[in-house]
């Protein structure tokens, strides 16, 4: 299974969204697929994939454990970690294709036959008013999702202080949360992503202000490095009946270990695009399991990461629920071919085909374009 080539493929799918993928070709004609989407970093990602291709061309595609040794020394930070994660995904796809079995069996087999999903409605809410968010939430619930998530506090950021604009954005965010809760009723899980917009003091106030909304979890309230304050906020959230979730953009087991040891989060959210690959997330999940911490992978981007995440989540004993980007674009389903990625009553069934189960559609798709105000930038919404 010698690697013949590694290709970067980037596509523009909405006015605010690019998706990026890696294809690994072997000399015997197999193609493995991974996702390396990282908003507004497409030129760097293309260069990093080219560097990987130079280093891995001619290597045996079965030797994916080499990635675990490279990750702690990744010179390019999140860009390098994301490219390595995509390479790991693609090599796992190739290995499962070679074995003639679905990818989840390569990872040791499933502990559940379907994967529970929740709908991230943030990009599907239009207009971005409380009513617009509520309408998006109702659509998700009508399709069978048992949980919805929104990121309601754009464009505030705590360093700007208590300006009139920040106070107005905060009040609007609380109104969006209240409107969504009213729209979905008390029995649907409601998650709120704060996108690191708050100081510890501001986050403490937020926890008090949303206590009546019955949140299932509050996500990423403050900077990930502030372990002591995150642990304090977790205690405040738990006392009001909600979990604290986070750690979506970290890479490698070593980055997650301090969070687990400090008791920062109830729910960890490693991303198959950034954390170092599928096996690395399984190691992170095993560490978390020893502390009673649940795993809900971050997954708000393209269909390839979603397909890998479904295989992965099926194998994790302490898996809770998987994020999906809901209502952004039909390209999520159309850009790939093979097994259907359509959601079934808020769940994803396990694929049965060999490997990942999907390939990129050979049709023409617009190339990625530079976005100077990327959607995923937490400061820009």
DSSP string, 295-328: E--B--S-HHHHHHHHHHHTT-TTB--EEEE-SS
User: What is the rounded average pLDDT of the residues 261-270?
Assistant: 98
* Nearest-angstrom CA–CA distance, 121 and 328: 8
Three-class DSSP category at 336? strand
- Residue whose token pair is 């649940």: 294
- pLDDT tens, position by position, 234-251: 999 999 999 999 999 999
Does the pLDDT value for residue 1 go beyond 90? Answer: no
C-alpha distances in Å from residue 268, one per residue of 124, 153, 209, 243, 276: 24, 22, 23, 11, 15
Does the pLDDT value for residue 374 go beyond 60? Answer: no
Would you place residue 371 in the very low, low, confident or very high pLDDT band (cuts 50, 70, 90)?
Answer: confident
- pLDDT tens, position by position, 28-78: 999 999 999 999 899 999 999 999 999 999 999 999 988 877 777 667 799
User: What is the rounded average pLDDT of the residues 19-29?
Assistant: 97
Q: What is the DSSP letter of 11?
A: E
What pLDDT shows up at residue 348?
98
Burial (CB count <10 Å: 0-12, 13-18, 19+), residue 112: middle
- Both tokens assigned to 162: 């208590």
Q: Give me the chain's average pLDDT, please.
A: 94
- Reference 233, options 218, 247, 253, 214; nearest CA is 218
- Reference 17, options 44, 48, 38; nearest CA is 38
- Reference 35, options 313, 249, 274, 366; nearest CA is 274
Q: Are strands 189-193 and 347-349 parallel, antiparallel or unpaired?
A: unpaired
What pLDDT shows up at residue 259?
98
Provide φ and ψ at 303, rounded to 5°. -70, -25
- Reference 246, options 79, 255, 167, 254; nearest CA is 255
Cis peptide preceding 127, ω within 30 of 0: yes
What pLDDT shows up at residue 378?
43
Provide φ and ψ at 137, rounded to 5°. -65, -40
What pLDDT shows up at residue 381?
37
* Nearest-angstrom CA–CA distance, 62 and 73: 21
Q: 0.75 cut: is pTM over it? A: yes
């Amino acid at each position: 299974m010698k690697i013949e080539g590694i290709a970067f493929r980037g596509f523009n799918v909405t006015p605010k969204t690019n998706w990026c993928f890696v294809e690994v070709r072997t000399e015997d004609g197999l193609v493995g697929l991974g996702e390396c989407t990282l908003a507004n970093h497409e030129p760097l990602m293309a260069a990093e994939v080219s560097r990987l291709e130079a280093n891995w061309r001619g290597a045996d595609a079965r030797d994916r454990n080499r990635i675990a040794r490279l990750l702690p020394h990744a010179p390019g930070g999140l860009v390098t970690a994301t490219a390595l994660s995509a390479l790991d995904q693609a090599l796992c796809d190739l290995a499962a294709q070679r074995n003639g079995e679905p990818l989840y069996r390569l990872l040791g087999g499933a502990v559940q036959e379907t994967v529970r999903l929740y709908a991230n409605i943030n990009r599907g809410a239009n207009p971005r008013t409380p009513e617009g968010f509520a309408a998006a939430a109702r659509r998700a619930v009508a399709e069978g999702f048992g949980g919805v998530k929104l990121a309601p506090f754009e464009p505030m950021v705590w360093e700007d202080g208590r300006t009139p604009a920040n106070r107005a954005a905060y009040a609007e965010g609380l109104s969006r949360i209240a409107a969504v809760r009213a729209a979905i009723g008390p029995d649907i899980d409601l998650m709120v992503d704060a996108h690191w917009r708050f100081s510890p003091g501001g986050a403490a106030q937020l926890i008090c202000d949303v206590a009546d909304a019955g949140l299932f979890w509050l996500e990423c309230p403050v900077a990930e490095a502030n372990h002591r304050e995150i642990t304090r906020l977790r205690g405040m959230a738990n006392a009001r009946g909600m979990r604290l979730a986070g750690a979506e953009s970290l890479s490698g087991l070593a980055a997650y270990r301090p969070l687990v040891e400090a008791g920062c989060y109830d729910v960890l959210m490693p991303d198959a695009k950034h954390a170092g690959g599928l096996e690395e997330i399984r190691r992170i999940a095993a560490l978390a399991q020893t502390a009673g911490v649940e795993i809900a992978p971050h997954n708000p981007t393209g269909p390839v990461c979603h397909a890998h995440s479904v295989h992965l989540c099926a194998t994790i004993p302490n898996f809770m629920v998987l994020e999906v980007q809901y209502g952004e674009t039909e390209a999520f389903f159309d850009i790939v071919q093979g097994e259907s990625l359509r959601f079934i009553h808020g769940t994803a069934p396990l694929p049965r085909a060999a490997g990942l189960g999907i390939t990129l559609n050979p049709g023409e798709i617009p190339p990625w374009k530079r976005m100077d105000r990327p959607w995923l930038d937490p400061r820009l919404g």
